[in-house]
Amino acid sequence: MSFDRLIANIKEKQNPTVAGLDPKLDYIPDHIRSAAFEKYGKNLEGAAAALLEFNKGLIDALCDIVPAVKPQAAYYEMYGWYGVRTLAETIAYAKEKGMFVITDAKRNDIGTTMEAYAKAHIGCTDIEGEKVQAFSSDALTVNGYLGTDGIKPLLEICKNDDKGIFVLVKTSNPSSGELQDRVLDDGMTVYRTMGTMCEKWGSDAMGDFGYSAVGAVVGATYTEQLAELRKALPHTFFLVPGYGAQGGGAKDVAPAFDENGRGAVINSSRGIMCAWKKEGCDEKEYAQAARREALRMRDEIVSYIGTIK
């Protein structure tokens, strides 16, 4: 099962983190932007070319120490189909470098349509009998508001093609509680109910480390809920956003892990991508600054959870 590959990668690198690739133009050093705009024009194509160059530099600097990357689809779609091409190329490049790739796209739809998303993002597209990979990440984030129908098509691919999904359970944003914290008539919160569905959906797709192919997104900014959910959902691997720029610290994310130091991967996007700005170093060193921040984050988190067994 997919998260076995991720967990093995985390163990090997002793690093339970994922680098978010959400490349706004503002984050990209001037020399990369200028070169791309000069070549392609100050347009979507030029912007997308700058994004790809920036991402490749980050991946090269991180691939031997960080187990996974998480490109966020929105920041690519913002640059039109050129941006989406950069997303596909970023995924392919990161996979080539041995990284586990999580496409953060929070897709959701009814069954027949979800089948199309599943094929697009973690499976294969059938073109008159030819199997072709459209984006083909290792894992995809999804939204479970539509229930089982919208999850099932993904499960088939998870089982057959060794892929995984992360379902939104308790998100990191300030207003996540408006619906997610509401209590149902059986006394359970909505987020806990969604978490319980993840356990059920994953029960048929269990991996060797005791975690299924159905993970959950749980924000670093809600540390009590993290602890509650880690206990309640023993087979659900967590993707934890909200560390760093959104306010979550290493101490806040520690409850996401089990007694073996497993069970979660912590994301940092802006912290890593913009490390060169925060450091104030030469912009040509942006990738090295990202690496330094990734190492600092790794050490900080591992200092709370110990060796990953």
Closest C-alpha to 204, from 159, 237, 146, 264: 159
Q: Which of 4, 22, 156, 279 binds a second copy (CB under 8 A)?
A: 22
Beta carbon of residue 216, minimum distance to a second copy (angstroms, whole number)? 13
Q: Which position among 5, 11, 70, 119 is part of the footprint of a second copy (CB under 8 A)?
A: 119
Nearest CB to a second copy, comparing residues 228 and 258: 228
CB of 173 to a second copy, least distance (A): 4
Q: How far is the CB of 171 from a second copy (least distance, A)?
A: 5
DSSP annotation of 237? P
Contact of 94 with 59, CB cutoff 8 Å = yes
Rg of the chain over Cα atoms, rounded to whole angstroms, equals 19
Using the structure block, give the residue that is written with the tokens 């120490």: 65
Subset of residues 207 to 236 that bind a second copy, contact rule: CB under 8 A:
none
The answer to whether 106 is a known catalytic residue is: yes
Report the C-alpha gap between 125 and 274 in whole angstroms.
Answer: 36
Q: How far is the CB of 297 from a second copy (least distance, A)?
A: 20
For residues 226 and 236, the answer to whether their CB atoms sit within 8 Å is no
Under rule CB under 8 A, residue 247 binds a second copy: no
Assess contact for 294 and 19: CB atoms under 8 A: yes
Among 59, 122, 190, 305, binds a second copy (CB under 8 A): 190
Site mask for a second copy (CB under 8 A), range 88-117, x = bound = x-----------------xxxxxx-xx-xx
Which of 13, 24, 56, 106 does the annotation list as catalytic?
106
Q: Which of residues 138-177 bind a second copy (CB under 8 A)?
A: 143-150, 168, 171-177
Sorted by sequence, the CB contacts under 8 Å of residue 18 that are 6+ apart come out as 66, 67, 68, 69, 70, 100, 102, 239, 265, 266, 267, 268
Contact indicator for 290, 58 with CB cutoff of 8 Å: yes
What residues from 36 to 95 belong to the interface with a second copy (CB under 8 A)? Answer: 37, 42-44, 46-47, 72, 74-75, 77-81, 83-85, 87-88
Structural element, H or E, at residue 170:
strand 164-170
Catalytic residues: 106
